[in-house]
């Protein structure tokens, strides 16, 4: 019988991978806390309509990529493909209107049925940042700055480029949408099947089509900047001034869009080509109409999500594991004493490796295998003296240390 394998598009987070993963999460959490964001967690699955409303029933994610199922009670449920909709649902269902601006940080697994590729799996993980209830451009600046600071803390900011655009307010977006429909309708014969379908429901999505024929048509499409009203131009100018003041470099990408109507004003992505083809490691924007779309009161919001796998790959090496101390008993009496000693040292904050069997030679091999920094050897002679032999496994030096002074000696040699 062949060995069991993980489901395609999933992967095991073994110790080195998990340390990289945890490093990204811990770094992001620490930076988010400095910005006043508190951590939340929402369920891994929600009612399917939450995502159908928030992402659009005809979007590729909803129509092709979601893991949806009917539970035993006949309810339509979906494993979350992204975090924002669930956080906005939680904001509505828990009546948090009095808590605005609601600053949150979250992380966890997401699920999308798509072709697995480097840094992108069917079960993947994201960090997520949201500010709900702030309509001012200062919130946009702050959210982008938070992402930038996380990239700097991970030492990957120099591998990323911030791309920035404005989607305008609803009035500007409506005017631009009409201009796109007119333009693309006149060139229907040159569009791909996917773009023809988008023309009817989501013409802005044509702008980020990867089809070569579509790209030719898009090059001559109307520019969003020509349809922005004064309020939208002023809002975007304020965001750019704020980023300049903070020394955060960016490139204006007029083709960076979000297809759904509740997206407004700022859209942005931190992109990199260090992982192969250019791709986003953090992407976000303002979604002033989303909570209303989900059935809540009209409430502005802005946020972003970052791919943990991609960020971990970009950050390169895993943080070092804390080197343990190996406890090595020799003889039956020492077995009981080292069990007590291991507990006391762990209680004091040491990482302790205690093998369960083997002679001195075998246990020393195990200590070297786990890269222990020191070995604490306890035999009959040590027990009689109320001491332990402390051996530095880097230098080879060893000495006897009274058991009562062992913890202090280990701290001093760390």
- Could you give phi then psi for residue 231, rounded to 5 degrees? -60, -45
Q: Please tell me whether residues 335 and 309 are part of one structural domain.
A: no
Q: How far is CA 337 from CA 313, 340, 359, 409, in A?
A: 44, 5, 16, 18
The whole-number pLDDT of residue 59 equals 64
86-100, 119-133, 193-207, 363-377: range with lowest mean pLDDT: 193-207
The whole-number pLDDT of residue 204 equals 84
For residue 158, give the H/E element and its range: none
3-state DSSP call for residue 91? helix
pLDDT at 193 over 80: yes
Question: pLDDT tens for residues 99-148?
Answer: 999 999 999 999 999 887 776 799 999 999 999 999 999 999 999 999 99
Question: pLDDT tens for residues 63-91?
Answer: 678 999 999 999 999 999 999 999 999 99
Domain count, the chain: 2
Q: How far is residue 121's CA from residue 65's CA, in Å, rounded to a whole number?
A: 12
Q: Please tell me whether residues 238 and 348 are part of one structural domain.
A: no
**84 a known binding residue?**
yes
Q: How far is residue 26's CA from residue 191's CA, in Å, rounded to a whole number?
A: 45
Q: Please tell me whether residues 385 and 278 are part of one structural domain.
A: no
3-state DSSP call for residue 106? strand
Radius of gyration (Cα) for the chain, nearest Å? Answer: 28
Q: Please tell me whether residues 258 and 147 are part of one structural domain.
A: yes
Q: Please tell me whether residues 236 and 308 are part of one structural domain.
A: yes
Q: How far is CA 152 from CA 155, 168, 370, in A?
A: 5, 29, 31
**Among candidate residues 315, 334, 356, the one where a domain is terminated:** 315
Q: Please tell me whether residues 235 and 303 are part of one structural domain.
A: yes
3-state DSSP call for residue 399? strand
**263 a known binding residue?**
yes
Pairing of strands 123-132, 251-252: unpaired
Q: Please tell me whether residues 146 and 280 are part of one structural domain.
A: yes
Question: Could you identify the residue written with the tokens 């520019």?
Answer: 223
Q: Is residue 219 part of a domain?
A: no
**82 a known binding residue?**
yes
Strand blocks (E) in 1-149 = 38-39, 45-47, 68-70, 76-79, 102-111, 123-132
Q: Is residue 308 part of a domain?
A: yes
Instruction: Give the range of the structural domain holding residue 295, as residue numbers without chain letter.
Output: 15-169+229-315
**130 a known binding residue?**
yes
The strand order across the sheet containing 68-70 reads 45-47, 76-79, 68-70
pLDDT at 58 over 60: no
**65 a known binding residue?**
no
Whichever domain contains 85, its CATH number is 3.30.930.10
Question: pLDDT tens for residues 310-339?
Answer: 999 999 877 888 999 999 999 888 998 999
The pTM of the whole model exceeds 0.85: yes
Q: Please tell me whether residues 353 and 371 are part of one structural domain.
A: yes
Q: Is residue 39 part of a domain?
A: yes
Q: Is residue 95 part of a domain?
A: yes
Q: How far is residue 404's CA from residue 184's CA, in Å, rounded to a whole number?
A: 81
Q: How far is residue 167's CA from residue 284's CA, in Å, rounded to a whole number?
A: 12
Whichever domain contains 377, its CATH number is 3.40.50.800
Q: Residues 135, 170: contact at Cβ < 8 Å? A: no
pLDDT at 275 over 90: no
Pairing of strands 102-111, 38-39: parallel
Q: Is residue 190 part of a domain?
A: no
Q: Is residue 346 part of a domain?
A: yes
Q: Please tell me whether residues 34 and 88 are part of one structural domain.
A: yes
The whole-number pLDDT of residue 358 equals 86
């Amino acid at each position: 019988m062949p060995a069991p394998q993980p489901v395609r598009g999933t992967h095991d987070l073994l110790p080195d991978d998990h340390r990289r993963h945890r490093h990204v999460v811990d770094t992001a959490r620490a930076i988010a806390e400095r910005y006043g964001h508190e951590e939340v967690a929402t369920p891994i699955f929600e009612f399917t309509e939450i995502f159908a409303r928030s992402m659009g029933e005809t979007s590729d994610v909803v129509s092709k990529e979601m893991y949806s199922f009917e539970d035993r009670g006949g309810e339509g449920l979906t494993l979350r493909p992204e975090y924002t909709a669930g956080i906005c649902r939680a904001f509505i269902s828990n009546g948090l209107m009095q808590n605005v601006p609601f600053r949150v940080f979250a992380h966890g697994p997401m699920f999308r049925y798509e072709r697995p590729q480097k840094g992108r799996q069917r079960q993947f993980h994201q960090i997520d940042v949201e500010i709900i209830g702030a309509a001012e451009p200062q919130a946009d600046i702050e959210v982008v700055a938070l992402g930038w600071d996380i990239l700097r803390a991970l030492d990957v900011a120099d591998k990323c480029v911030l791309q920035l655009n404005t989607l305008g307010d609803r009035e500007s977006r409506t005017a631009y949408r009409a201009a796109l429909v007119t333009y693309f309708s006149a060139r229907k014969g040159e569009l791909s099947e996917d773009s023809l379908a988008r023309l009817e429901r989501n013409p802005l999505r044509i702008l980020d089509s990867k089809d070569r024929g579509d790209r030719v048509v898009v090059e001559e499409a109307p520019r969003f900047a020509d349809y922005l009203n004064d309020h939208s131009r002023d809002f975007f100018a304020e965001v750019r001034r704020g980023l300049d003041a903070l020394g955060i470099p960016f490139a204006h990408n007029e083709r960076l869009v979000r297809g759904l109507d509740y997206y407004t004003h700022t859209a942005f992505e931190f992109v990199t080509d260090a992982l192969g083809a250019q791709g986003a490691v953090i992407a976000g924007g303002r979604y002033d109409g989303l909570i209303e779309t989900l059935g809540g009161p009209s409430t502005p919001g802005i946020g972003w999500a970052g791919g943990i796998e991609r960020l971990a790959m970009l950050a390169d090496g895993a943080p070092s594991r804390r080197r343990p101390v190996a406890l090595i008993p020799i003889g039956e009496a020492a077995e009981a004493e080292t069990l007590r000693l291991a507990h006391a040292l762990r209680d004091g904050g040491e990482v302790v490796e205690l093998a369960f069997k083997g002679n001195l030679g075998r246990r020393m091999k195990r200590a070297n295998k786990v890269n222990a920094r020191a070995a604490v050897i306890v035999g009959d002679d040590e027990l009689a003296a109320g001491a332990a032999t402390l051996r530095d496994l880097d230098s080879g030096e060893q000495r006897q240390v009274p058991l009562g002074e062992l913890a202090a000696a280990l701290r001093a040699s760390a």
